[in-house]
Amino acid sequence: MGPLSGIKVLEFEAIGPAPFAGMLLADMGADVLVVDRPASSDLGLTRERWYDVLMRGKRSVTLDLKKESSKEVAFELLARADVLIEGFRPGVMERLGLGPDAALAKNPRLVYGRMTGWGQSGPLAPRAGHDINYIALSGVLNAFGRKGEPPVQPLNLVGDFGGGGMLLGFGVACALLEASRSGRGQVVDAAMVDGASLLAAMFSGFLASRNWSEERGVNLLDGGAPWYDVYETKDGKYVSIGSIEAKFYAELLSRLELEKQDLPGQYDRPRWPEMRRRFSEMFLTKTREEWCKVFEGSDACFAPVLSFSETRRHPHSAARASFVNLGGVEQPAPAPRFSRTPAAARRAPPERGEGGHAALQDWGLRAEDIERLTSLGLSYREP
């Protein structure tokens, strides 16, 4: 079930991008076993597990890695794993005796996935940071925002999840494919600052060709162009238009009933403020739902701006079964789709230690092995 069925992943408890990568692998069929702390106090978190969507599809055991005996337990588990995922600062796993050299000596086929903000090397590597800092240094944050206004942070999607967890998941999949050919594992150094820069690769070309200004809010894709923007409607809601190509722009004018009016040319930049004003006035004449009906069946590149809750009820989401309910939490379904080995969100997030006993058995540990590891500090919830 899923293209990664049969792959065993050992994930060390973390927050954000590392568990997101683990979720992606679990959605694709991998058997993800999380090594949780006995309690969450070290993470400074109080959230309950039942709604921690990034933990879906996984099972859990608990282990205090600060205890010397825990190293033996960890080695026993990683020796049976195909992948290890950790999201600690550089050097932490080494200090615990579980760094890549020790792990690969124990299991030469192991794919050792490392998730950090600044990377495993460089002057900032040991420093603390969060998504906003990583995308700031990558140059991406500077590009978000309106002309003449400060940069606007785009949630923590660009650094943590797009440039972080998703890139780590991709790196792990690549390393697994290579290991299947060479029989040798390797380290995957995924850094959010690198990933955020990579997500903006297209703009490197735009800059080189002088088709992009580093002034915010004056370009085609950053709210500068009036035909690629968001507009308020009569009911205080919003719609989006992205009519870049000439034929789509012509369709936009037709649906707005502006095609016969004296408007600036599409690329007449000095007159863009005038065009934006006309568009703004027009969109304020109808509600969001009324505009949806006006643009129904259109190629004007139009869509309503929906909230997280609204998108779950949209007919397109329903037709594609884009959301699933797992453990009472409505959440995005696994993606992408596969024709022969479908992905699935298989189980709700585990409480600490939940499912651990069955996972240990599935990983090939005998009853006496489990008893020995338990005596060394491994813990799980009884089935």
Cβ neighbours of 22 (radius 10 Å): 34
Q: Which residue of the set 42, 130, 235, 268 is catalytic?
A: 130
Q: Residue 79 is encoded by which pair of tokens?
A: 């020796």
Is 130 one of the catalytic residues?
A: yes
172 in Cβ contact with 111 (< 8 Å): yes
**Cα(154)–Cα(140) distance, integer angstroms:** 10
Q: Which residues contact 159 (CB under 8 A, 6 or more apart)?
A: 17, 117, 130, 131, 132, 134, 135, 138, 192, 193, 195, 196
Cβ neighbours of 23 (radius 10 Å): 24
Is 235 one of the catalytic residues?
A: no
Q: Which residue of the set 31, 82, 131, 160 is catalytic?
A: 160
Nearest CA among 342, 341, 335, 350 for reference residue 380: 350
Cβ neighbours of 152 (radius 10 Å): 11
Nearest CA among 60, 59, 55, 65 for reference residue 88: 65
**Cα(159)–Cα(115) distance, integer angstroms:** 11
Q: Mind telling me the catalytic residues? A: 130, 160
